[in-house]
Structure 1
Amino acid sequence: MTDTTASNHELIPAEDAALVASEEWQEQYADEVAAELAAEQGDSSSAGELIVSFTQAAANQPLAEPADWLTNQLQPHAELWPDRASMERDITEIVATALRQAELKQELAAARDQGKSRESWLATSLANAAKQHGILSVGDYGAVIDEALKRSNTTMRTIVTCKNMQLSQARNLDGFIAEVHHVNTFNVNAAAAGSDARASVVINPGKAFAKNSVDIHIHDCQGKVVRRYQAKYGADAGATEELFERGDYRGQRKLVPQGQAADMRKSASEVIEFEGIESTPLSKKEAKRQQEQVQNEQHVHELDWKSADALTVGKRIGKEAAIAVGMSLCLQAGAVIARRCWNRLRGKENISLQQEGKDFLAQSVNSSGKVLLNVAASGALMVASKRGLLGESLKHSPAGRIATIASVALDNVKTMAQLARGEISKSEALDQMANTTACSIAGLALASEGAALGAAIGTVLGPIGTFVGGLTGGIVGGMLGSTAANLAYNASKSLIGQGVALVNSVAQTFSVGVKSIGNAFSRLFA
């Protein structure tokens, strides 16, 4: 459980950092993610098979034209689109995204070779994006990006500090929104009725969440707790029931989405209630809609976005991007599940590559310059998301967002492979991942605006995108061969400590101001 508003960044305690870096925590975290995905009718193994199939097909046709290749590859899955025109639009968007990300990476590399900072390049890119969308102030654009990054970073930080593995709530912002909705509507109704009873979301800022902890309290006029509620917001009654079965919630009343209580095997309520005062019911669909709205609200923090110049905006967003990199290193469920999937898949006879295909795959991963591999991974994820294999939240995601997740994943595979071979240091690996994140932000800014931009960043750089990216990168990495895959996986694990240090170092600059951000980068990326 967490607040739905972005807060100032807190440091990750040393004891939590040590726990997150342990193999046991990462494996348990992967188990929790897999269980929650299954509860939403997702299937990481089937998603992994699609990634392998598409990657294998691309590797065995290395000279194919990307758009034509993807069109043929998607034909067996054409029923997932309402019509051919819709599928063709997604194909165009996937290829355009892959090409745009490749171009942005080249631009950033050239700028840094000329001595320019990543932040100044990002500032210029955001200014160009704002101009393209007819927005006069780059600060207006920056506010959307900053808020979206801050929210996704806060969510991932919550996961890292959940010592007792109560991770599902931290990954589902719509669940938090539901809790706050019921508390707020109950309190409004109580005030209107002249009652002093009040509801509250149970939050312990800066502390890990206790196992089976209460989500909502209702207090009477004397402040005594008279109701305790546990909220679960699954995709349907069966999924919600399964979420309840994973914990021991005796002494707590069950709060579920509107329209699900009647189908639950055990007693549940669609409102919180005391002495005839009730909250307003909230459906799963409406909670998801509000999730998008909350993630995209523009709040003014200590930075005056309206008057901010482009470089100040670039520095501020660079800080949030750096924290996103650090948090992504801490959450390796996707990579863990990818290893499990690959271990099951590699014994199948049809998982094979000709030597030409192996060379193509190695060259593509090592250079990140082969658009076809990005298109293949994007196509696989598009099919997986539309089939619901990656959970409900990605089922209707635009093609461009899916393609950006794939691009980030493959760039990070390249970085881990270089680190594993000793070609770059850990600091250089972090620097390259920060470049990748900056390019993804710039690409999303060019492709989206307003509410869509905030939602896109929340999807790609938040927990869901981090998980899917880890799954994609892990599967593609596995196809490089067991030795290379193991080395890259271990290299990624070795960066967890540096990821925590990056989060804490950059977070410490928050109270000092954006001028200190460059100092944080120089210490970590020297």
Structure 2
Amino acid sequence: MEEKKNSNEVTSAEYISEREAKTVKELFKKYLKSYKEKDVSVTDKEWLEQLFKTELSEVTDEEAKQDAEEIVESIKVFNSNLQSVNEAATRGISKESWLADKMQEASVGMAVNEYGEVLQSMDNILYQKNMELADALQRSTDGNIKMSPNLDGNIAENMIAKTTELSGFSQGKNIKVEVRDVFTENSVDVRAINLDTGKYQNYQLKFGKDAKATIDLIERGNYNNQQIIVPSEQLEEVKAHFKAKGSSKTITNHIDAWGAKGKKFTKEDMKELQVAAQEDGIMPSMDYSHYQTKDLAMSIGKNAGAMALQAAAVTTGLNVASKIFNGEKVDADEIVEIAIKTGADTSVKVVTAGTLQVAIRKGIISFIPKATPAGVIAYIACVGIENVKILAKIASGELSMTKGLDQMGRVTTSMVGGLWGMAKGAALGAKLTGWIPVVGAPLAVVTGFIGGMVGYFGGSKIGDTIYNAGKKVASAARSVAKAAVNGLKSAGRAISTGISKVGSAIGRLFS
């Protein structure tokens, strides 16, 4: 029998469940208490290092020290960047121009081609993530994203469909295998059609991180009249589970459509292809003049601004935060209340980053990869805290909606400036690719949740005020965000090189 879920539970299809969120809330409460009780002589770095040693048994002393240093340094860089971009704004300098200059400064010592390539990489990644966010928001009238957080799942659909179609073509079969891109509940992922007879077969792809996760995904839906496709290494365990329950589901690891057999893939295959697409697919092979790099840097700034607007339109995280505090009277924590009202927030950012680091490493926040660099996790914390401060100012009337959205854009731009510092000179390294899965919808959801949660720790009244302000801002942001995304699209994108690189990566799978 399928496990029954509480009807009020937010499923993992929306990134984070109420159960997971409550666990993060308790961790934050525990760590905030620990932080306030630490001796004044204990530095933030030392406190984080001890936290990781205590809470993460698999982490070595050296790793705990390194992660603590990276978090503290990243918070410092973020705060410095935000102060700088705000000062530039008072002088009439746009956040895009600020970021272009910041990136140029940080590129000292890099060859022109290397600098241009890394710029192009970041620009393409941010553009891609903006399009994913825009697509998600177009499917959602309330800003509550219901989309798969894992790009490899989307790749799996396309790869399994296309390899089946290629198999049919090589055999002279008149078939079509399409990825349907329909996102209603229990919708069909892939449909194989016999163009001679008009008959078709529907398929549902479930690629969880392991067999248990895949089984859970299958049991959440009603996929009658659909064959289930799962990763090859999980097939036997998944089949055995449903056979033991007396289920008649057809579960396999590939499509067999009238003799046309698609390729079988493991979860790791999909992850490798995801990396190949995101690394190799965005590396252009051209020369870059100073004008082109400046233009690229400005484009990155525009992408950052569009991402901030779209993130403001996403209410998933705020909704989850509100639900887990529903009906609970929360006494204001002084350190949090002061951070929200005065901006003296480094301590809260440290505690938030530490909480996120533990939650992600333990798999409590499962949609963010465990291998995400500690510095990236620190930036997520910083964006969440800064945005909740902005929402508080909008709620109090200190900031207008328009100015608040502009300030949120500066917050995201500050983050991108910090990511650039991590990425420069590492075009093919983990420091560039480590943050790719986090930006876009995942960033929007988790920063909304973190901001909302911290708001409630400032007191029930502050939390409710921030939640209500967030809903209003989301409504206002949608139309502005749509215009910004349309502007990105109309600017034109030279992505043919990227597509050919992805094609080459896909081609390698058939060699």
**Is contact 2:149–2:367 with CA below 8 Å preserved after alignment?**
no
Q: Where does residue 114 of structure 1 map in the other structure?
A: 91
Q: 1:394 aligns with which of 369, 377, 390?
A: 369
List per-residue Cα deviations over 1:21-72 (Å, max 9, x = no partner): xxxxxxx998234776469xx8221122112222333345595521122223
Q: Name the structure 1 match of 2:288.
A: 306
Residue from 14, 37, 43 that aligns with 1:65: 43
Give 1:145 shift. 1.5
Q: Structure 1 pair 260/329, CA: closer, same or farther in 2 (3 Å)?
A: same
Q: Distance in 1 between matches of 2:146 and 2:35?
A: 35
- Residues 36/256 of structure 1: CA separation in 2 closer, same or farther (3 Å cut): farther
Whole-angstrom distance in 1 between the partners of 2:91 and 2:387: 24
Amino acid in structure 1 at the alignment position of 2:138:
T
Matched AA of 1:144: S
Aligned counterpart, 1:87:
64
- Call closer, same or farther: CA 1:492–1:164 in 2, change over 3 Å: closer
Are 1:32 and 2:11 counterparts?
Answer: yes
Q: Which SS does the other structure have where 1:384 is aligned?
A: helix
After superposition, the Cα gap between the structure-2 partners of 1:482 and 1:110, relative to the gap in structure 1 and judged at 3 Å, is same
**Which position in structure 1 is the counterpart of 2:507?**
none
- The AA in structure 2 aligned to 1:139 is G
Select which of 302, 306, 313 maps to 1:323: 306
Distance 1:306 1:427 in 2: 36
Q: What residue is the counterpart of 1:104 in the other structure?
A: 81
| Preserved contact between residue 384 and residue 450 of structure 2 (Cα < 8 Å) | yes
Deviations 1:324-373 (A, max 9, x none): 122212222212212233348767xxxx77xxx60x33333345454332
* Residue among 234, 256, 262 paired with 2:236: 262
**TM-score, normalized by length of structure 2?**
0.83
Root-mean-square deviation (CA, aligned residues, Å) is: 3.1
Structure 1 residues 328-477: aligned runs within 5 Å: 328-343=311-326, 358=334, 360-391=335-366, 393-448=368-423, 449-451=426-428, 452=430, 455-477=433-455
Separation in 1, partners of 2:96, 2:77: 19
Aligned runs of 1:473-512 on 2, under 5 Å? Answer: 473-510=451-488, 512=490
Which has the larger displacement, 93-102 or 179-188? 179-188
How far apart, CA to CA, are the structure 2 residues paired with 1:467 and 1:172? 14
Q: Take 1:453 and 1:225, find their aligned partners in 2: how far apart are those partners?
A: 48
Partner of 1:128: 105
Instruction: Please state whether the residue corresponding to 1:73 is helix, strand or coil.
Output: helix
- 2:214 maps to 1:244: no
State how far apart, in whole Å, the 1-side matches of 2:273 and 2:469 are.
39
Match of 2:246 in 1: none
Q: Is the 8 A contact 2:329 2:460 kept in 1?
A: no
Instruction: Please state whether the residue corresponding to 1:171 is helix, strand or coil.
Output: coil
Match of 2:167 in 1: 189
What displacement does 1:318 show?
Answer: 2.4
Q: Secondary structure at the match of 1:198?
A: strand
Q: Which residue type is aligned with residue 32 of structure 1? A: T
CA distance in 2, matches of 1:369, 1:237: 45
SS in 2 for 1:76: helix
SS of the aligned residue for 2:62 comes to helix
Q: Which residue of structure 1 lines up, in the alignment, with residue 501 of structure 2?
A: none
Relative to structure 1, the CA distance from residue 247 to residue 137 in structure 2 (aligned partners, 3 Å threshold; closer, same or farther) is same
1:222 to 187, 196, 199: 196
**Which residue type is aligned with residue 307 of structure 2?**
A
Per the TM alignment, residue 98 of structure 1 is displaced from its structure 2 partner at its CA by: 0.8
Output the amino acid matched with 2:129.
S
Q: Who is 2:257 aligned against?
A: 274
Q: Distance in 1 between matches of 2:74 and 2:46?
A: 16
Task: Find 1:199's aligned residue among 174, 177, 195.
Answer: 177
Deviation for aligned residue 1:236: 2.5
Match of 1:76 among 19, 37, 54: 54
Unaligned runs of 5+ in 2: 1-6, 243-248, 493-511
Letter of the aligned partner of 1:399 in structure 2? Answer: A
In 2, distance between residues paired with 1:36 and 1:311? 36
Q: Distance in 2 between matches of 1:428 and 1:251?
A: 52
Q: Residues 305 and 179 (structure 1 numbering): CA distance in 2 closer, same or farther, change over 3 Å? A: farther
**Structure 1, 408-417 or 275-284: larger mean CA deviation:** 275-284
Cα distance in 2, alignment partners of residues 483 and 229 from structure 1? 48
* Secondary structure, aligned partner of 1:381: helix
Give, in whole Å, the separation in 2 of the partners of 1:135 and 1:97: 26
Residue identity opposite 1:140 in structure 2:
E
Give the C-alpha shift of residue 154 in structure 1. 2.2
Code of the residue aligned with 2:413 in structure 1: it is A
SS in 1 for 2:308: helix
Structure 1 contact 183–199 (Cα < 8 Å) conserved: yes
Higher relative contact order (CA closer than 8 Å, sequence separation 6+): 1
232 and 168 in structure 1: CA distance in 2 versus 1, 3 angstrom threshold: farther
Give the equivalent residue in structure 2 for 1:18. Answer: none
**Greater Cα offset, 362-371 or 417-426:** 362-371
Alignment TM-score, normalising by the size of structure 1: 0.81
The total of aligned residue pairs comes to 471
In structure 2, the CA distance between the partners of 1:222 and 1:299, relative to structure 1 (3 Å rule), is farther
Counterpart of 1:232 (choices 206, 227, 239) is: 206
Partner SS state of residue 31, structure 1:
coil
What's the CA shift for 1:508? 3.2
- CA deviation string 1:391-413 (max 9, x = no partner): 15422211111111011111111
The whole-number CA distance in structure 1 between the counterparts of 2:187 and 2:196 is 23
Question: Which amino acid letter does the alignment assign opposite residue 329 of structure 1?
Answer: A
Indicate the percent of aligned positions where both proteins have the same amino acid: 24
1:488/1:167 CA distance change after superposition, 3 Å: closer
Residues 164 and 320 from structure 1, CA distance in 2 versus in 1: closer, same or farther, beyond 3 angstroms? Answer: closer
Q: For the residues of structure 2 that align with 1:433 and 1:275, how far apart are their CA atoms?
A: 53
Q: Secondary structure in 2 aligned to 1:471?
A: helix
Q: Distance in 2 between matches of 1:326 and 1:418?
A: 17
Whole-Å Cα distance in 2 between the matches of residues 483 and 32 of structure 1? Answer: 27
Which segment is superposed worse, 408-417 or 496-505? 496-505
The structural deviation recorded for 1:467 is 1.8
Whether the 8 Å CA contact 1:130–1:137 is kept in 2: the answer is no
